[in-house]
Structure 1
Amino acid sequence: MLISKFKQFLEPFNFPFFTDKFIGALRHRIYEIAGAKSSLENLQVYFQSPSSFFVKVVVKSLEDIISISYTFTVTDILAFPVNSEALLTTKRLEINLLLPSDEPKIIDFLSDPDVWKMRGQRYSPIENIHFIYQNHSDPVPWYKYNFAIRTRRNNKPIGFIGFYQLSQLDSVMLSYGLSKTYWGLGIMSEALAVCIPWFVTSQTVRELVAFAEVNNHSSRRLLQKLGLQEYGLLENSKFSADPNNMSQFIVHKSSMP
């Protein structure tokens, strides 16, 4: 809701990716103050003619409630880097970085109870997607990004792929989700078939870890088809949407050059 209203508020400013740049700049500031796990409690934005915005935010960090005020100029916002180019393509799909303006569509399909169940993980908002842009010139490991899966026909985000670093520095977890509208069409198989090899050959990882609900046979078959080895049940899994339904734990060990 926040992003949708924000987009409407910024409609008069007809700059490419202005909403994404504004949210990215704001999240970067919040990350610096409150950390990546902070949550936004309140946001007020006022336009100050002719070319600046006054922003007041209330953020809940792991330790405290923090109130922050900023002034952003249009020049500051336009200078914030946003990468919207396709990183990978297939016959039907484009894969690129997930932008803030994509989040309402992602939230919409993740909120479907059937998607909750098949992902084996209850929906929670995607946290601070763009805090990784904090180092504008320094290379950032890909596992800190979420990727959008889009149809080449209309560039609509229909799913996502994420790589998350686990406690071991060379162990990374794979996560993904797809709109129920596109189930059964081989979309996720097509996306992961190009994304996983690209990731494991470009990053220094020892393990790529994934999970699937025991009853999610299609996802289990997909992971096996992609070369991930099944290691059995993961007891007391925090990923299970149903506490009484154990999740399947799958690991793929990659030998990096």
Structure 2
Amino acid sequence: MEKVFPVIETKRLILREVTLEDAGDMLKYLSDTDVVKPMGLDPFETVNDVWDEIKWYESIFEKGSGIRWGITLKDSGKVIGSCGFLNMLTKHHRAEIGYELSKDHWGIGIASEALEAVVMYGYRHFHLERIEALIEPDNHPSQKLVEKQGFRREGLLRHYEFTRGKFDDLYMYSLLKEDLNGISF
């Protein structure tokens, strides 16, 4: 039986599965160095690069190791970013959260709205206990974003990833279900 990809609706957004038809919209922001550098990636150059990313989204969903929603504005339907879980370990009730957003939409609360919706979905539907965010020390906007959602910085993971020809330090942030006081699941 095929899994059904869930859709999440917020005040301004529809978070949905991305398809190969979204590749052109995604290339617009995934080719932007400012968007992909904090992800440890080089800018995408072609639609084929984006197709590989979409196929990765499909594979983590099928394997149950993650899920990545395309972020779309209700009024346009165009994919302007993504948000979701990876490295999901159901046995341990934890997952990593990741996100990126087109620079055209920075600073107006879109990432915060998407992140909050995905976090809540993770606690309600995947029965997560812990959600982690790994963020480069220089990525202050992303740190502020997760801190606004209640994530706590736990420490620095030295030389945690090897990306773009170098070792990267990453801050480990976490949000536990119990940190969301008063919210029923």
Query: What's the TM-score once normalised by structure 2's chain length?
Result: 0.75
1:121 aligns with 2:43: no
CA distance in 1, matches of 2:148, 2:122: 17
Structure 1 residue 153 displacement after superposition: 1.1
Question: For the Cα contact (< 8 Å) 2:153–2:173, is it kept in 1?
Answer: yes
Moved beyond 4 Å, runs of 4+: 80-83, 131-134, 239-242
Per the alignment, residue 102 of structure 1 pairs with 22
SS of alignment partner, residue 232 of structure 1 = strand
Question: For the Cα contact (< 8 Å) 1:120–1:241, is it kept in 2?
Answer: no
Q: 1:215 to 1:131 in 2, by over 3 A?
A: closer
Structure 1 residue 162 displacement after superposition: 2.1
Per the alignment, residue 165 of structure 1 pairs with 87
Q: 1:190 to 1:166 in 2, by over 3 A?
A: closer
Q: How many residues align?
A: 169
Residue range with higher mean Cα deviation, 194-203 or 217-226: 194-203
Amino acid at match of 1:102: D
Structure 1 residue 92 displacement after superposition: 1.8
Question: For the Cα contact (< 8 Å) 1:214–1:245, is it kept in 2?
Answer: no
CA distance in 1, matches of 2:60, 2:146: 28
Per the alignment, residue 13 of structure 2 pairs with 93
Per the alignment, residue 102 of structure 2 pairs with 179
CA distance in 1, matches of 2:109, 2:60: 30
Per the alignment, residue 145 of structure 1 pairs with 67
1:130 aligns with 2:61: no
CA distance in 2, matches of 1:176, 1:103: 17
Q: In proportion to residue count, which structure has more helix?
A: 2
Name structure 2 gaps, 5 residues minimum.
43-48, 179-183
Query: What's the TM-score once normalised by structure 1's chain length?
Result: 0.56
Structure 1 residue 108 displacement after superposition: 3.4
Which is bigger in relative contact order (C-alpha 8 A, separation at least 6)? 2
Percent of counterpart pairs with the same letter?
A: 25
Larger Rg: 1
Per the alignment, residue 120 of structure 2 pairs with 197
1:212 aligns with 2:132: no
